[in-house]
Homo-oligomer: A and B are copies of this chain.
């Protein structure tokens, strides 16, 4: 992946040898192989370090350009000829360690007591409230209103005629024109990626961004996490209610409606024009087609084709769910009369 250096400082390249030293890995291949970036294994380009989990089975095909990989002993046989590798017990943990040595999020670096960075580009036609903090390299377009006590992280790009509500925060994100965030929205935090490490659970670092296209609206106290090795994307005119959770690497299409307490797990895809009722939950990696309706409270664990309406937990086609609800009521009501 191309790590966006507006959001992440590059701390300099490593070599296979220095990366092995950092992680205690066994090294196979040219020790001078440069490691300049990070990626998922199916997306990696030359110099971008990827990893295989477990024995490497059941994972997408490796990128052809990949030339450096972390694997466990069990997955070693899957390393193609010509690809340098590091062999460790916990490949994902080792990848985390090396990734943290390559890049660091700018908003976690040296804080400044200056509220509006002199290195930010705030259009004179933007309107900035009291207590607003804007990081270096951020840009805010004409006509955008930034309400009091908002935090705009370094490098964040906000288009024209946006509205950022009181106390919201935006990091590692690109916002189009006419984007509205209501008060307390949290855009671009690290996603929830718990990884076993040698000392127990640890957090996986995230190096992606959040992209909010034109006319997106995000409700109060809603959270949209940034991606791990890719972006979390919300399509044009998609409208998200208060207190929703949009996890890392999610892609919502255009004109999607997500009502309050919508919970969309990692890497879910939702097609254009789909409507999610209140408190809908979608399990990770599920694919929802275009024009789908999910009834309030639905808990969805499977893919749904275009245009379908589903409900219930676990969710199923709405007619089947309603039939079950009615049948069960009828059976037990009959028993009562026995």
Residues of chain A at the chain B interface (Cβ within 8 Å): 107-108, 110-115, 127-131, 133, 145-149, 151, 153, 163, 165-169, 171, 180, 182-184, 186, 189-190, 192, 194, 199-203, 215, 217, 219-221, 223, 225, 236-239, 241-243, 245, 247, 254-255, 257, 259-261, 263, 265, 278-279, 281, 283, 296-297, 299, 301, 313-314, 316, 320, 323-325, 327-329, 331-333, 335-336
| Docked CA distance A299–B311 (Å) | 12
| Docked CA distance A243–B333 (Å) | 36
Q: Are B336 and A332 in contact (CB under 8 A)?
A: no
Contacts A243-B245, A245-B260, A296-B281 given; does A200 touch B237 at CB 8 Å: yes
Contact of A242 among B165, B225, B313, B314 (CB under 8 A): B225
Q: Are A166 and B165 in contact (CB under 8 A)?
A: no
Q: Are B133 and A113 in contact (CB under 8 A)?
A: no
| Docked CA distance A165–B145 (Å) | 23
| Docked CA distance A128–B114 (Å) | 11
In this complex, what residue of B is CB-closest to A168? B167
Q: Are B149 and A129 in contact (CB under 8 A)?
A: no
Q: Are A145 and B296 in contact (CB under 8 A)?
A: no
Q: Which residues of B contact A145 (CB under 8 A)?
A: 108, 111
Contact of A203 among B128, B239, B316, B332 (CB under 8 A): B239
Copies in the complex: 3
In this complex, what residue of B is CB-closest to A117? B130
Q: Are A281 and B297 in contact (CB under 8 A)?
A: yes
Q: Which residues of B contact A111 (CB under 8 A)?
A: 127-130, 145-148
Q: Are B114 and A130 in contact (CB under 8 A)?
A: yes
Q: Are B113 and A220 in contact (CB under 8 A)?
A: no
| Chain A to chain B contacts (Cβ below 8 Å), 30 pairs | A107-B147, A110-B127, A112-B130, A131-B131, A133-B148, A133-B149, A133-B166, A148-B151, A151-B166, A153-B166, A166-B171, A167-B168, A167-B169, A171-B183, A180-B203, A184-B186, A194-B239, A203-B217, A245-B260, A245-B261, A261-B281, A263-B279, A265-B278, A279-B279, A283-B296, A316-B329, A320-B332, A323-B335, A327-B328, A327-B335
Q: Which residues of B contact A254 (CB under 8 A)?
A: 200
User: A222 to nearest B CB, angstroms?
Assistant: 8
Q: Which 4 residue pairs of A and B lie closest in terms of their CB atoms, listed nearest first?
A: A111-B129, A166-B169, A133-B148, A151-B166
Q: Are B333 and A327 in contact (CB under 8 A)?
A: no
Contact of A186 among B110, B203, B221 (CB under 8 A): B221
